[in-house]
Structure 1
Amino acid sequence: MPSKNKAPGPVRRSPGQWSTLPECRRVLAVVHTHVYWSRLREIVSLFRADLRIQVVFTVAPHAFNGGLRELLRGLGGTVLPWSEAVRTDFDLVLAAGSQGIEQIRGPLVRLPHGAGAIKLSRPVEGPQRSVGGYGRPYLTWAGRVVPAAIALAHRSELQLLASGCPEALPVAEVIGDSCHDRIAASLHLREVYRRALGLRTGESFVLVSSTWGLGSSFNRLDALLPRLAAELPPDRFRTALLVHPNVWANHSRWQLDAWLSGRHGIHLLPPETDWRQLLIAADYVIGDHGSVTLYATMTQAPILLARFPFQDVNPDSAAVQLARTAPALSAAHTLTDQLAYAQDRYRPEDYAAIARGISSEPGCFNRKARGLLYRVLGLGEPAYEPATELLDVPELLGGRRP
């Protein structure tokens, strides 16, 4: 009789008589948070129409994973319980987070989940803080590197690995950034997106973006929201608020709606919103040290920084370069004057230089990512070039008709 304390072995699935495509390679997408899912969604789309590959999902342990099971089941995909996923062999595992990945059985490709390697790890004892995702605590377990491959957006991130986890360098590969490429491909649709959102001719659209945590704009939102309502004339400005999905997951959808929805004349964007079209449509962006603000450097929108906690940000990141370039929000002058100032001081070439820090492989993400994934799977790639898709036309903003 086996010991009760013995760890269970892997569940090896035999195709049996019920399987129609028994030779499929099995790919597991490990989803930690809504933000990580947005990245995984882009990469699993590279397997579409390939009958050799079947993708299944699991929700990993994480403080911000609320609602993910329902979301994934709503897509119609197979969602394995975590307890089953860690006992099953896979041909490829995809993850953008770290928690629990050492338990998964199969070659892991670790993906980036934001722009520009911005945030530092949480403070611990001692003076050293690694950039989030690039240190040993994120990439190793029991002295070994867990991922079979680590995908990076920019060549500069190789130096981050060299400092934080040099033993992971041999499995690192620079493939670019999916959000960067889709935004760049869709910039010419700005007027299409503006019409779809219901923005009127001559109306300025202000997108307010907040990341999560103590250094975020949301942490001081009680001071910013009344100013947006009081100082931006409603006949000239339209304002929308984009809050990081981690805030929604932590405080709940009901609570954020109770706090913010319908108040101050500002449209609160739900957490599942694809913000990239709104960023392209925006005339101004008010942000912080989150990825959305950094992606705004790809557009023609002047940026105002409401908050920027330098002590929590990678000093060599493009985000810090942005904080040294973009004007900071002031309590002493009206928002209309400050937006006009930001517009007057806006220099496209300065922001384009910052945007180049997001991806060192512009336009190449799909090709490089697909090559990496199929190499790990041991399969030849499909015989077509994976095109970068345009972003979908957004829904009407706040129920207003054009």
Structure 2
Amino acid sequence: MSVKTTKSALIEQGQWLTVSDCKRVLVVVHTVTFAQRLREVFGLLEADLRIQVVFTVAPHAFGGGVSQYLRGLGITTVPWEEALRAEFDLALAAGSRGVHELRAPVVRISHGAGHIKPQTDASSLPPGVAPVPGMLSRQQLLHEGRMRPGAVVYAHERDLTELARTCPEALPVAHVVGDPCVDRILAGLPRRGQYREALGIGVGERLVIIPSTWGPTSTFGRLDSLLPQLLSQLPGRGYRVALLLHPNIYAGHGPWQVQSWLAGCRGRGIAVLPPEADWQAPLIAADWIIGDHGSLSAYATLTEATLLLTPGPRRQISASSPAALLAAVAPVVSPAYPLEEQLSYAARERRPGQYEQVAALLSSAPGEFHRRMRAVVYRLLNLGEPAHAPVVSPLPLPPALDRWETTDLGLAR
């Protein structure tokens, strides 16, 4: 049977399928970041022979690497155009582009640590109305004035309060389910020693993680001011250093270009983890995290690591987001002082409970995501839930940093 016939069979559910009479769920993947969040949701459907899950890649400016990521999970996709023509019982999506064209009720899934970035396109807003983050905006939740999603899920109860102001039409289908990254990090904290051992962190060595979101105001966008400090001051002095770059950086510039810009790291003791890497375990294992206004910095407040920030934007961050609150309480790295001294200072000056308020904004239902999320999906499918708790696998052990310190700097394989 050809690949095309196999894909068509998944769409048409015709005579070629072995397991028939299934509810059909379409997973719409726009970017690698969205795929990583959706994985927490479609994983809840595994082992249920009543459900056929079909995947498609939707057009997106940062869609590079999505097909490779899904293939690495053993997933076959159907063309976006075919997915638009077919009917499904439910669709899962973390992005908004094109989902109003689907012939299925859509579950919109929020991603990231809170709602950090307001809309960049405010042209459709009435005069005097400030832009709000996408998952709270009428522009993303409504199409031609009508409510499209079958459900919208959020991490925190306060999101519903904000939604009542920005898009009250969405309240009847809004659900608070918590945040899967919060749950996995909290569950993984007792395994910190195992993660450090897997990464190859030796006795007496200290791990510095530098996560970067995407965009010109991110750490990567300003890496020219931080990289000389990293290369000249830390490696070889008992420090291990790893960069965690947002997948949109690779998708926007291309893996070769990212490698080229970071060529000076090769063989210099700085690891660059690939965009498809599970990032929670390295975050848990870190002694220091030098972050920016991205989600990983906010998630870092759940760990034991000492946190510092690179100078970030103010206007491009939602004032009520965890990132904004974090920027008000975390120490900021300066190029004018030795980096090692700043790391030591931040560790000495860290106060008990310094980031409790930030961490509390990430989820109002810690430990509840998979149970609540599964309930929403099965209710919309009109199916009874499996008679067991959701199976949530622990964070996998990360690969050794040595692998990424000397190879092709995280080029997806």
Query: What pairs up with 1:355-394 in 2 under 5 angstroms?
Result: 355-394=359-398
* 2:211 counterpart letter in structure 1: S
Distance 2:14 2:358 in 1: 54
Distance 1:369 1:19 in 2: 28
May I ask how many residue pairs the two structures share in their alignment? Answer: 391
3-state SS of paired residue (2:347): helix
**For residue 410 of structure 2, what is the aligned residue in structure 1?**
none
Distance 2:71 2:87 in 1: 22
Indicate if the aligned counterparts of 1:33 and 1:68 stay in contact, CA closer than 8 A: yes
Is 1:97 matched with 2:95?
Answer: yes
* 1:80 counterpart letter in structure 2: V
Distance 2:189 2:383 in 1: 34
3-state SS of paired residue (2:290): strand
* 2:386 counterpart letter in structure 1: P
Query: What pairs up with 1:54-69 in 2 under 5 angstroms?
Result: 54-69=52-67
**For residue 51 of structure 1, what is the aligned residue in structure 2?**
49
**For residue 189 of structure 1, what is the aligned residue in structure 2?**
191
Relative distance call for 1:13 and 1:210 in structure 2 (3 A) is closer
Indicate if the aligned counterparts of 1:34 and 1:245 stay in contact, CA closer than 8 A: yes
Indicate if the aligned counterparts of 2:44 and 2:391 stay in contact, CA closer than 8 A: no
* 2:56 counterpart letter in structure 1: T
Query: What pairs up with 1:20-31 in 2 under 5 angstroms?
Result: 20-31=18-29
Query: What pairs up with 1:125-136 in 2 under 5 angstroms?
Result: 125=123, 126-127=127-128, 128-136=130-138
Per-residue deviation, 1:230 = 1.5
Q: TM-score normalized by structure 1?
A: 0.93
Indicate if the aligned counterparts of 1:12 and 1:88 stay in contact, CA closer than 8 A: no
**For residue 339 of structure 1, what is the aligned residue in structure 2?**
343
**For residue 352 of structure 1, what is the aligned residue in structure 2?**
356
Q: Which runs of 4+ in 1 moved over 4 A?
A: 11-16
Per-residue deviation, 1:75 = 3.0
Per-residue deviation, 1:74 = 3.9
Relative distance call for 1:231 and 1:209 in structure 2 (3 A) is same
Relative distance call for 1:124 and 1:18 in structure 2 (3 A) is closer
Distance 2:71 2:230 in 1: 38
Indicate if the aligned counterparts of 1:304 and 1:342 stay in contact, CA closer than 8 A: yes
Indicate if the aligned counterparts of 2:25 and 2:90 stay in contact, CA closer than 8 A: yes
Indicate if the aligned counterparts of 1:120 and 1:131 stay in contact, CA closer than 8 A: yes
* 2:301 counterpart letter in structure 1: T
Is 1:180 matched with 2:188?
Answer: no
For 1:200, which of 199, 202, 205 is the aligned residue? Answer: 202
Per-residue deviation, 1:316 = 1.1
3-state SS of paired residue (2:240): strand
Per-residue deviation, 1:98 = 0.6
Relative distance call for 1:363 and 1:19 in structure 2 (3 A) is same
Q: TM-score normalized by structure 2?
A: 0.91
Superposed CA deviations along residues 23-67 of structure 1, whole A, max 9, x for unmatched, are 111000000000000001111110111000011100111001112
For 1:224, which of 220, 223, 226 is the aligned residue? Answer: 226
Identity %: 50
Distance 2:159 2:186 in 1: 21
Per-residue deviation, 1:68 = 1.5
**For residue 144 of structure 1, what is the aligned residue in structure 2?**
146
Relative distance call for 1:191 and 1:21 in structure 2 (3 A) is same
* 2:16 counterpart letter in structure 1: W
**For residue 8 of structure 1, what is the aligned residue in structure 2?**
none
3-state SS of paired residue (2:181): helix
* 2:167 counterpart letter in structure 1: C
Superposed CA deviations along residues 132-157 of structure 1, whole A, max 9, x for unmatched, are 32101111111111101000000111
Per-residue deviation, 1:235 = 2.7
Distance 1:110 1:119 in 2: 17
Distance 1:13 1:34 in 2: 23
Query: What pairs up with 1:281-300 in 2 under 5 angstroms?
Result: 281-300=285-304
Is 1:280 matched with 2:278?
Answer: no
Relative distance call for 1:399 and 1:365 in structure 2 (3 A) is same
Distance 1:260 1:65 in 2: 22
CA RMSD of aligned residues (A): 1.8
- Which segment is superposed worse, 357-366 or 301-310? 301-310
Distance 1:132 1:215 in 2: 19
Indicate if the aligned counterparts of 2:206 and 2:287 stay in contact, CA closer than 8 A: yes
Superposed CA deviations along residues 231-265 of structure 1, whole A, max 9, x for unmatched, are 22523111111111001001111111111145254
Distance 2:84 2:297 in 1: 36
Distance 2:261 2:164 in 1: 44
Relative distance call for 1:388 and 1:172 in structure 2 (3 A) is same
3-state SS of paired residue (1:150): strand
Superposed CA deviations along residues 289-317 of structure 1, whole A, max 9, x for unmatched, are 10000000000111111032121111111
**For residue 119 of structure 1, what is the aligned residue in structure 2?**
117
Per-residue deviation, 1:390 = 1.4
3-state SS of paired residue (1:221): helix
* 2:86 counterpart letter in structure 1: T
Per-residue deviation, 1:324 = 0.9
Superposed CA deviations along residues 116-135 of structure 1, whole A, max 9, x for unmatched, are 11111115345511113210
- Which segment is superposed worse, 19-28 or 30-39? 19-28
Relative distance call for 1:381 and 1:400 in structure 2 (3 A) is closer
Is 1:316 matched with 2:320?
Answer: yes
Indicate if the aligned counterparts of 1:182 and 1:389 stay in contact, CA closer than 8 A: no
Is 1:79 matched with 2:77?
Answer: yes
